[in-house]
Amino acid sequence: MLFGYNPFLLFSFLSALLHLCAGHGMLKYPPSRGNSEWLGTCAAGAGCKGPCDSSKANSPVSNAYSASPMVVQRGQTLTVKWDRLNHPGGFVRLAVSKFEDSDSWDSFNNNVIKYTCYETNCGPDDPNNDTFGPLAGPGSQECSTTVTIPDNLPDGLITVQWMWFGGGVYYGQKDTSFGEYYGCSDLKLQGGSPQTSNVQPPVFKGGDVMYPSENVCRYWGSNKVGDCSFGSNSPNPIPGNLLSQSLEPCTHGPPQKGAPANLMSFIAYV
Ligand SMILES: *[C@@H]1O[C@H](CO)[C@@H](O)[C@H](O)[C@H]1NC(C)=O
């Protein structure tokens, strides 16, 4: 028997889970703006409502003493990375806006460039450990995908928004889903392909550790952006009660399989 009713063992188990779950869902590369309030992570359930982990005003590029942002070109391929952070499933959405518009959700929603799976090329460390369900165990491997910097933006500061939605296994509970997580990285766009006015529709690239050869992802809860943003609600944390710091889990139910909602039929599948 692993924990039985021994309160000490149950406490140890919960502590281990809490430890496992500290700081989920973060954009790693290109580096996100960061924030001090939530140690760089931006969880809708904790009251961080995006669209970025910090506002424009709190971005390093608004600080004269910060290092200059990374330079990219129109049409360039950029690799975007995040760590799995012990959580399976869901989708990553990537959008690009002008930095000056980056406090606005609309500017990202109207300029989504890609959807892919959270576990693109990463998965649990022990694929045979089913404690939290098939292929759902711990492991913080690096996950990544590539995007093409769109050619509809002029030279200047731009912002790449990363979001994670449809992730699962909240504090070791198999059939629970996380809320949404957001992060942004500011870059300097300079040259490359000539600027055009074309806004390309987003692409979807499915295939993850659960469904490696199908154009789908495994997800928990919802496959639709906004369903697990908790609206304008924020938690009322009780000191000493870690779970009270979040409105999560978002939903209860087993994992599902599919593409992101609202993908239009003309979207190219690559
Ligand atoms: C399986 O994973 C759980 C949760 O992380 C862990 O407690 C357990 O020791 C693992 N089992 C094996 C056989 O490694």
Ligand 1: nearest atom to the Cα of 132: 4
Which among 12, 125, 131, 135 is the best mutation to test ligand 1's pocket, defined by most ligand atoms within 8 Å of the CB? 131
187 strand-pairing partners: 158
pLDDT tens-digit series, residues 166-178: 999 999 999 999 9
42 contacts 162 by C-beta, under 8 angstroms: no
Whether 131 is in the pocket of ligand 1, judged by its Cβ within 6 Å, is: yes
The rounded distance, in Å, linking the Cα atoms of 180 and 210 is 21
Provide the token pair at 199.
């806004």
User: Could you give the C-alpha distances from 37 to 42, 237, 240, 241, in angstroms and in order?
Assistant: 9, 14, 17, 17
Provide the token pair at 178.
């996380």
pLDDT tens-digit series, residues 96-122: 999 999 999 999 999 999 999 999 999
Q: Which CATH architecture has domain 24-269?
A: Distorted Sandwich (2.70)
Q: Give the CB-side neighbour count of residue 204, counting CA atoms within 13 A.
A: 18
| Sequence-ordered alpha helix ranges (H) in the chain | 7-21, 105-109
Q: What is the pLDDT of residue 34?
A: 94
Inform me whether the pLDDT recorded for 249 exceeds 70: yes
> What is the mean pLDDT of the segment spanning 20-41?
83
Q: Report the separation in Å between the CA atom of 131 and the middle of ligand 1, taken as the mean of its atom positions.
A: 7
Q: Report the separation in Å between the CA atom of 219 and the middle of ligand 1, taken as the mean of its atom positions.
A: 22
Whether 45 is in the pocket of ligand 1, judged by its Cβ within 6 Å, is: no
140-144, 214-218, 237-241: least confident range: 237-241
Ligand 1: nearest atom to the Cα of 126: 14
Q: What is the pLDDT of residue 13?
A: 45
The rounded distance, in Å, linking the Cα atoms of 30 and 53 is 14
Band of the pLDDT at 24, cuts 50, 70, 90?
A: confident
- Cβ-based neighbour number of residue 81 at 10 Å: 16
Domain boundaries, the chain: 24-269
Band of the pLDDT at 264, cuts 50, 70, 90?
A: low
Provide the token pair at 253.
């139910």
Q: What is the pLDDT of residue 36?
A: 87
Ligand 1: nearest atom to the Cα of 20: 5
Inform me whether the pLDDT recorded for 8 exceeds 90: no
Closest CA to 158 of 147, 171, 145: 147
Q: Report the separation in Å between the CA atom of 19 and the middle of ligand 1, taken as the mean of its atom positions.
A: 15
Element (H, E) at 29: strand 27-29
83 strand-pairing partners: 142
Q: What is the pLDDT of residue 12?
A: 43
Question: Atom 14 of ligand 1 has which residue's CA nearest to it?
Answer: 129
pLDDT tens-digit series, residues 50-101: 999 999 999 999 998 988 999 999 999 999 999 999 999 999 999 999 999 9
Q: What is the pLDDT of residue 64?
A: 87
- Output the CA angle 201-231-259, nearest 5 degrees: 35
pLDDT averaged over every residue in the chain:
90
Contacts of 111 (CB under 8 A, 6+ apart): 95, 96, 97, 150, 199
Closest CA to 135 of 146, 122, 145, 148: 122
